[in-house]
A and B are shown apart, each in its own frame.
Chain A
Amino acid sequence: MFHFRNKTLMASARALAAAVAISAVGVVSAAAGEITGAGATFPAPIYTKWAEQYAATGGDSLNYQAIGSGAGVTQIINRTVDFGASDTAVAPERLASQNLLQFPAVIGGVVIAVNIPGVDGNALKLTGPIIADIYLGRVRMWNDRRITAINPGVSLPALAIAPAYRADSSGTTNIFTSYIASISLPFQSQVGAGNSVAWRAGIGAPGNAGVAGAIRNTRGGFGYVEYAYATENRMQTPMIQNRSGQFVRPSTAAFSAAAAQANWANAPNLAVSMNNTVGATNWPIVGPTYIMIPKNPADGDRAAAVLKFFDWAFRNGSPAADQLHYVMLPESVRTQVRARWAQVKSGGRPVYTPAR
């Protein structure tokens, strides 16, 4: 809600400043200066880090508002920002009708975080069906027989599980519910997958940070968060059984292994699923996050500045990604994305042509 107001205010302030500058000097400045983006909270840490490093090299500064994927799409459709960001791929028809180009920017993993007093959550093992049944309200206690059966040697307390989920519309929720809906038929039929769903159990907290806070605040807390938030907050993240039957720990390597299985070749708009891939070391809940930019930008220079920023990130963003546990797109995909940027045109010509 705040963001809406801020955006409008900022937009009008910027328009006013531009008008004053033009009338005073009589010259339209070519430099964008500041580019604005809004949307997914999932990649917010890496975008912010990249922006910091990019600005340090003399690039434009980026103002990224982590307001949630749903709001990001709305903002770019209303053209109140230079680019929108969403963890959910927008349907091809909608991209076409809104004249938007969508491309993946980076890949991340969603993990389960827990707070069980007296238990090392990192050593705990969970399966997809158990996670689904916790959110369906069928598994209610930490010492439920289905959990103790796969955790011999761990003394789980008779403590109620307190599931938490995202209250706001969120791409993290979409990646996560797509995963559990794909392995649990009851979850698929009763809840389904989407940015916001009709949860059967648990409490809703605002944002990744809110869910992390709810888990930390509650004895028996349980929830899903983007991995960077879990590591930043030193949360305990259980192992999850993957499609090959192995219990894997969340790690950048496990996310990369899943990303390598994605079928990019047959994906319209490069929208792929990386959930529940086959492979002994694959983490089961992984997804790319997307950027949306108008194909007919009102200001070609600003659109060029956005593409230039992501071009820089594709070339130089790897150390920051490693540090924050994100996975860079495969090199071949980055090349495909750069080729697609030619569709962003102003006055009939591409606004930005990446160097070879």
Chain B
Amino acid sequence: MTTAPLEGSRRFHLGENLFRAVLFVAAVVVLVTMGAILIILFESGHVAFQKFGVAFIWLNQWDPVRDLYGAAPAIVGTLATSFLALVLAWPIGFGIAYVLTEICPRPLRGPVGVAVELLAAVPSIVYGMWGFFVLAPVMSTTVQPWLTEKLAFLPPVGEFYWFSGAPVGVGLFTASVVLAIMILPFIAAASRDVLQTTPQLLKEGGYAMGATRWEVLTGVVIPAVRGSLFGAVFLGLGRALGETMAVTFVIGNANRLPDSFYAPTASIASIVANEFPDADQGSLKLASLFALGFILFVVSFFVLALARLLLRQGRMA
């Protein structure tokens, strides 16, 4: 009789240990996979770095005929479309989050929240086709000429002419707009979660002092969660950096540095998608594409790491 509980506890220990081991393996598998991807990307792409040196990162060339490759147009296109998308999506995403947490009547919060989250469920190919066949003509005939007229006062910076390019419909700007819509639900959801962490007492204190909604927002809520808000935004950025299918449709696929917001350009993901099927085994082109993949991985890693850091700081403050 006395051995029964012992036996049971031993069995319990066995189960517990097994459970732990399984969980541990699962966690390690993720790390190992990440490491393996990084190593294989570098290993497959190192020929490109050998051939062009570190200069591969800033060489402005992509010429499959002469076998000359460089990452500058792709890196610039990737960062420019992602940051512009962020600039467009941030105020709207934050606005949605604020409405959902503070202003929206309780019965409406559910439906509006779900509608925003549904944007994240639309497949990226659908965004691409919508962008190419519906948005691009509207951009070309209406939005772009209007912006060109209104923003003509912007002086060109070097060879960059802001909104004065030919309004061809697809290009850096249209890609950014499509990306902005795609990352909107992520920014809105993350911002909403952040806003909900603002202590109720602080806000009520603000209102008790006779502050308006605007004053509470700018004077109490935002200072309390500032770091976390940046983090929410960077999570959206991480998603925008690697988006492939939609961007390939609307970015214009020109492997050149853009000379205006309307100019066609390319992103790392779009170049890889376009050129990968034709890259022969062992060719310099294939190595260059892997090198691009490696660069994208590193950039995304740092952006996400920064997001985590900011989120954590926000929570500690």
Contact = CB atoms under 8 A, between A and B. Distances in A.
A206 interface: yes
Contact of B278 (A195, A198, A218): A195
Nearest to A71: B277
Interface in B217-253: 244-245, 248-249, 252-253
Interface stretch (A23-31, A146-154, A162-170, A234-242): A162-170
B65 A168 contact: no
B66 interface: yes
B133 A213 contact: yes
B264 A203 contact: yes
A214 interface: yes
Nearest to B277: A71
Interface string A176-199: 000000000000000111111111
B253 A203 contact: yes
A192 B275 CA distance: 17
Interface residues of A, number: 37
B62 A198 contact: yes
Nearest to A70: B278
Contact of B277 (A67, A202, A210): A67
A73 B63 CA distance: 20
Chain B interface size range: 35 or more
B132 interface: yes
A197 B253 contact: no
Contact of A204 (B66, B166, B245, B252): B252
A160 interface: yes
A74 B278 contact: yes
Given A192-B66, A198-B65, A203-B252, A74 B133 contact: no
Contacts of B170: 203, 205, 214
A3 B273 CA distance: 12
Interface string A54-88: 00000000000001111101100100000000000
Nearest to B263: A203
A245 to B, nearest CB: 29
Interface string B292-309: 000000000000000000
B166 A160 contact: yes
A217 B252 CA distance: 13
Nearest to A199: B254
Interface of A: 1, 3-4, 67-71, 73-74, 77, 160, 162, 167-169, 191-200, 202-206, 210, 213-214, 217-219
Given A191-B65, A197-B64, 16 more contacts: A73-B278, A74-B278, A162-B168, A169-B277, A197-B65, A198-B64, A200-B256, A202-B254, A202-B264, A204-B252, A204-B253, A204-B264, A204-B274, A214-B132, A217-B133, A219-B140
